[in-house]
Structure 1
Amino acid sequence: MRVLHVISEMGAGGAETLVAGMVARGEEYGWVSAVASAGGFRADALAAGGTATFPVPLAHRSKAGVLRAAWAVRHALSRFRPDVVLAHNVGASLVARLALVPGRRRPLLSVFHGVADDEYRRAARILRHTSDRVVAVSPAAADRLVAAGLRGPQVIRNAVFTRPPVFGRASVRASLDVGEGTPVALCLARLEPQKRHDVLLDAWAALEGDPVLWLAGDGSLRAELEERGEPLAGRVRFLGTRADVPDLLAAADVTVLTSDWEGLPLAVLESMAAGRPVVATDVGGVREVLAGGGGLVVPPGDPAATAHALDTLLSDRSTRDSAAAAGRRAIERDYDPHTLMKAYDELLRTTLEGAR
């Protein structure tokens, strides 16, 4: 089965991580995979490993941009000749539908990773008109889509495609000038409005002592956030886009995510799989993931609650250890890559057979 993934970019985000993992594991299920995107370090890694990749310009939500992207995806379709197209998120679904030649029944399945609260009706409307089947990455996201008017989304929970760290805790900390005894929190998130790093920085300013915050990611708000973090110089490090997330997780004590909205954030799942307790806002599927005790849930937009939760985990080793063990159990039980790949494989093959 030839599967073309269409996604806006292949950088450090959660959807990109999922695509890279699905491509890597797809061979076990008889998939021949390709990726059409605007590129990024994950696309480069896939290409180096022999996966076909096709360049697609970012659509930027403009009519001309969408048409340019659709034309590039049509080129990918003609070159790769997939049996099925798997589009990740709403914009990619629209682009892929426009790219598909009318009359040729290549099924288009959409993976919905989440949108802002005020975007659900628009998302449901687009997905209703573009997609043969819609997969939501969490029950919470599926429920929101149904409430917005979309019928029958299927839930396939995100999974963690783990890889071991290359370097140990001590060497990673030494490379970032952090001592072994210094408490470290890691935030894996693009520097964009959705992720609310402003809330995180306000929370960090309220913590006492010498804990260090690592911000792994880049984006349009970097200059603004660096200026906002200047009073915290020495306690906050902007690391930029990183390809060594397993190493950073091994060197951190906890992770934190202060988003205004999410679907089912892979940053949370990766943290739990690495045995790192999580502080995350109560959005999307986060509460469900942390229900077993893998971390602490806080209200969105609340620096005081975020600071309290971070202080609880950073200052109490036994609480951290308990949360780490609970997180690992939850990942092994509910977020296994084989379960995810089997579900996608069955869905794609069933949809493809129906189209034929």
Structure 2
Amino acid sequence: MTPNAAQTTPAGPSEELRAVLVLAGTTGGIGAHVRSLAAGLSAHGVDVTVCGPAETDKLFGFSGAGARFHAVEITPTPGPRTDAAAVGELRRAFARASLVHAHGLRAALLSDLALRTARAQEAPPLVVTSHTANLATGMERRLLRMMERRVARAADLVLGASSDLVTRARDLGATDARLGPVVAPPLPPALAEREQTRRQLLAEKGRRGAAKDAPDRPIVLAIGRLTPQKNFQLLLDAASGWRAAEDHPLLVVAGVGAEEAALRARIKAERLPAKLLGYREDVAELLAAADVVVISSRWEARPLVAQEALRAGVPVVATAVGGLPELLGDAAVLVPPGDATALAAAVSSLLADPARRAELAAAGPLQAETWPTEADTVAQVLSVYDELISER
């Protein structure tokens, strides 16, 4: 689609196309994706408003991406008062919208509620990007499925971040569901040398005078929110098996989340060769310092860390779940989900085989060239917007 394609639609010139992007609180891929869209759409002359918690604008800088930011406190879990306030704010933000594009289940549910009163008056189209699978159990899973079904049927179009999410949306009753890949923005160049970052990561934090790790000790890196979906407990299971090896690697995990205290307590209690780094912005430096990147998740669509690692030529070991097999192809080592023994063995095998690591390091950037770019994604979204507005 050309930059002027929006001018051919009934909505008028592209500068008259007013898109409202909605998201709940996030520190990861959804926020990065929305910022990328906001910047790309604004560059094409679209009037973009981003609605989300105030903290997301501080973290991702939507206001600095050419978009207008409208603070809406969309909480992770439902609450009568907070949801009512959020719906009211969304109605105000949607007043002049040509189209609403919600990201994630919570944002989509509240957007649908805000639009419902205007449905009889030809409300703007609702696009929903599905970013995650339903991994809950029991009653919570059934409740979430009901919400997913409502969103799928209310949306004019569902974009799934991976093929399995597209299939699920169709199964839930979506009238139109298509693949809408989430693309990791390019990382800035690393500002520190590999060895400098490695020295910092390997430095012993124990008692004064304790020996430091050998400078050539392998470093295994994991990045992500510390939540059950990422299954870092499985990664610690694998790390516990590495202790027997004389040159066992150090596992470093960058991220924050609800499981941080439990993971930290386990590392300390079991004296595991692992460190929690907390929230980090120096992802490029961490990747440059790592020997292997590990993704132990129960499910993923197109995680940013997987894309960033392959682009950087860092070997990846990942669980074969969700969209990971189609994303990574033959450029990574895939293991069964939930199998700590297989995960540990795959990492150990790679660390012991420099030739295989070099092979994967070369394959990563080649695989990355097969993915859509940020420009491709923006063009697809613009085309979708034009199509839906034309139908109205």
TM-score (norm 1): 0.90
How far does residue 42 in structure 1 lie from its aligned partner after superposition? 5.8
Do the aligned partners of 2:231 and 2:297 also contact (CA within 8 Å) in 1? yes
Deviations 1:23-77 (CA, angstroms, capped at 9, x unpaired): 2333343333332112446644333555322222233123443323222322333
Alignment root-mean-square deviation, CA: 2.3
> What is the CA–CA distance in structure 1 between the aligned matches of 2:46 and 2:325, rounded to whole Å?
33
Aligned length: 351
Does the alignment pair 1:185 with 2:209?
Answer: no
Which residue identity lines up with residue 222 of structure 2 in the other structure? C
> What is the CA–CA distance in structure 2 between the aligned matches of 1:268 and 1:123, rounded to whole Å?
29
SS of 1:325's partner is: helix
> What is the CA–CA distance in structure 1 between the aligned matches of 2:56 and 2:277, rounded to whole Å?
16
Residue in 2 aligned with 1:128? 152
**Structure 1: any 5+ residue segments left out of the alignment?**
none
Residue in 2 aligned with 1:235? 273
> What is the CA–CA distance in structure 2 between the aligned matches of 1:266 and 1:123, rounded to whole Å?
26
> What is the CA–CA distance in structure 2 between the aligned matches of 1:122 and 1:272, rounded to whole Å?
37
Does the alignment pair 1:53 with 2:77?
Answer: no
How far does residue 231 in structure 1 lie from its aligned partner after superposition? 4.5
1:170 to 159, 179, 195: 195
CA pair 49-131 structure 1, distance change in 2 beyond 3 A: closer
CA pair 235-106 structure 1, distance change in 2 beyond 3 A: same
Does the alignment pair 1:111 with 2:126?
Answer: no
> What is the CA–CA distance in structure 1 between the aligned matches of 2:381 and 2:271, rounded to whole Å?
45
Does the alignment pair 1:95 with 2:120?
Answer: no
Larger C-alpha radius of gyration, 1 or 2? 2
Residue in 2 aligned with 1:84? 99
SS of 2:25's partner is: coil
Identity of aligned residues (%): 30
1:263 to 282, 288, 301: 301
**Structure 2: any 5+ residue segments left out of the alignment?**
1-16, 204-213
Deviations 1:251-305 (CA, angstroms, capped at 9, x unpaired): 22221121112223222122212222221112111111222x2211112211111
CA pair 250-34 structure 1, distance change in 2 beyond 3 A: farther
Deviations 1:75-117 (CA, angstroms, capped at 9, x unpaired): 3334xx4322211111111111112351252221000112225
How far does residue 122 in structure 1 lie from its aligned partner after superposition? 3.0
Do the aligned partners of 1:8 and 1:37 also contact (CA within 8 Å) in 2? yes
Do the aligned partners of 1:34 and 1:51 also contact (CA within 8 Å) in 2? yes
1:160 to 151, 169, 184: 184
Do the aligned partners of 1:90 and 1:126 also contact (CA within 8 Å) in 2? no
> What is the CA–CA distance in structure 1 between the aligned matches of 2:201 and 2:135, rounded to whole Å?
37
SS of 2:369's partner is: helix
SS of 1:204's partner is: helix
Which residue identity lines up with residue 113 of structure 1 in the other structure? H
TM-score (norm 2): 0.82
> What is the CA–CA distance in structure 2 between the aligned matches of 1:63 and 1:243, rounded to whole Å?
35
